[in-house]
Amino acid sequence: MPLPFIFSTGIEEGLSKQASFSGGSEIDHLSDYALYVRGISKTFSNGVVANNDVTFGIIKGEVHALLGENGAGKTTLMKILSGCLKPDRGEIYVNGVKTRISDPRKAVQLGIGMVHQHFTLIPTFTVAENIALVSSSSRKLELKAVEDKVRHVSKSLNFEINPNTRIEELPVGARQKVEILRLLCQDVSILILDEPTSVLTPLEVEDFFRIIRQLKNDGKSVIIITHKVKEALSISDRITIMRGGKTILTIPSSQTNASELASYVVEGFIPNLKRVPTARGEPTLSVKGLFIKGDRGEMAVKGLDLSVHSGEIVGLAGVTGNGQKELVEALTGLRKVEGGSISLKTCDLANKPPNFVINSGISYIPEDRMRRGVILGMTISENLALKRIDKEPYSKKMLIDKEALDKSAKELISIFGIKASDPCATAGSLSGGNIQKLIVARELTNAPNIVIAEQPTAGLDVKASEAVHQKLLDLKSKGAAILLISADLDEIMKLSDRVLIVFGGKIVGEFSSDSLDMEKLSKLMLGSE
């Protein structure tokens, strides 16, 4: 049965491309697709139409990027393919055979596996134990065999991993590789990766892309969900764009470019950051000779010095696991300081409780937003008041003023464009991107002295990212001191006045934004200079 190459297009350009591909393409039989779906629709119980008559196909041995904004329905579609969600309507074909995917186990049997944005490994288990948990076919735990398989599969992908390391001891990049390994050990042939680079440093991204290419060479099909246009272009063979729950078009990467794709992803988006030139003021935050212990009792920060002036954004670049996490936690009162000093103007902040830090006007956008930044079981207005619940107007004489809470929540929801039906809905009902907007809204209002922004736009779409960047720039122009910790070097370079490079718990280099040497910076990040 011949099938058109491009599906459900609503755009004229799309239609013209459809004509040009379907004629000459040799790929127009259902059996050429490793996976093909059509007419998929999914409406959630809260009324959100996540997928609306979606058609999508992946060819054997290709890397396919699914590109779209947050809330475009990418993750929902992939969760349907991996058996985590059931579609309301639609047909699924695996290798040309119509099938139903009832649950993730069934999906794996069909050779489809997914790595979720939030990893699902058990931190206290070793690599082998985590893999044995899902791949063991008999009732007996054959850890030895699993270990051998892990070694074998990881070797074929050219990376080293000790199967006996506990997950909690691994950096995020390695955990992601374990997630992929776990799928490969179950003989999965179609891998779905949800925003895989959002947690990786540029170097890790390179390594990750290498593995993706290796997988492709081994004949695996890979679907990468992403909202980054550049990334989609650089790794994939073909790109499918989703918008508003529909697939807009599918196009080979070689036949398009970044600006064309961006115009499909967000209709009519023009980057428009406003910068007000700001004079650098007095040092607001100064850190001297700081020593902090990591989770395993080792010294993670070893004599770190830095300062952030008012009216300045300082970017902290570095490979994950070089003491950034410990530094941020010490600055916000969440981790004990072993030695050295942290001061806000003249006030000492070392080893003060979080409440003291908050009252000193330090805002903190945490990287681990689900675990730290938000309380999913509480309402949106309660979450927005988290750090100020003891203060007026939120409460008087220990009694909460619910009206004040809802009123201020409604304001923040409209200012920050949080997609929420009602401030009294639980935060858990929001999408990941909107949860981040909620956190940013809470942290960037009330004129903070210092903002510590840890991966503030990870997983956010173009418009939302720009809104966060604009807000940070506005605060800077009002005299706030901003420390930006990001694995996204583009973000650091776009916003920072100064870039500091952290390696091995120390600052090993400093650049001003106008004299950035990328090669030197990369070497410093790796500690090879």
Q: Which residues bind other proteins (CB under 8 A)?
A: 332, 334, 353-355, 357-359, 364, 366, 371-378, 382, 386-387, 389-390, 395, 398-400, 402, 424, 426
CB of 484 to other proteins, least distance (A): 19
Report strand pairing: 283-293 vs 299-309.
Answer: antiparallel
**Choice between 177 and 325, CB closer to other proteins:** 325
| DSSP letter (8 states) at residue 426 | B
Amino acid at site 172? V
Token digits for 4? Answer: 């058109």
* Measured distance CA(314)–CA(297) in Å, rounded: 28
Q: Which residues contact 463 (CB under 8 A, 6 or more apart)?
A: 69, 266, 269
* CB of 311 vs other proteins, minimal distance in Å: 26
Residue 285 or 452 with smaller CB distance to other proteins: 452
**Which among 511, 489, 472 has a CA at the least distance from the CA of 275?**
472
121 contacts 175 by C-beta, under 8 angstroms: yes
Closest CA to 291 of 330, 340, 334: 340
> 233-258 burial by CB neighbour count: b if 16+ within 10 A, else e?
bebbbbbbbbbebbbbbbbebeebee
Of residues 364 and 511, the one with the C-beta less far from other proteins: 364
Min separation Cβ 390 and other proteins, Å: 6
Residue placing its CB nearer to other proteins in the complex, 454 or 461: 454
For the bound state, the minimum distance from the C-beta of residue 520 to other proteins, rounded and expressed in Å, comes to 36
Smallest gap, in angstroms, from Cβ of residue 383 to other proteins? 9
> In the complex with other proteins, which residue's Cβ is closer, 426 or 431?
426
Residue 463, SS3? helix
Query: In terms of residues, how long is the chain?
Result: 529
Cβ proximity to other proteins: between 282 and 392 the closer is 392
Q: Shortest Cβ distance from residue 267 to other proteins (Å)?
A: 34
Q: Considering the complex, state which of residue 38 and residue 372 has its C-beta at the smaller distance from other proteins.
A: 372
| Pick from 246, 211, 199: nearest CA to 56 | 246
The CB-of-37 to other proteins minimum distance in angstroms stands at 23
From the CB of 385, what's the least distance to other proteins, in Å?
Answer: 8
Instruction: Give 16 or 446: the residue with its C-beta nearer to other proteins.
Output: 446
CB 238 within 8 A of CB 252: yes
What contacts 309, CB < 8 A, 6 or more positions away?
Answer: 280, 281, 282, 283, 284, 481
CB 498 within 8 A of CB 513: yes
Q: Least separation, in Å, of the C-beta of 399 and other proteins?
A: 5
Closer residue to other proteins in complex, CB, 286/359: 359
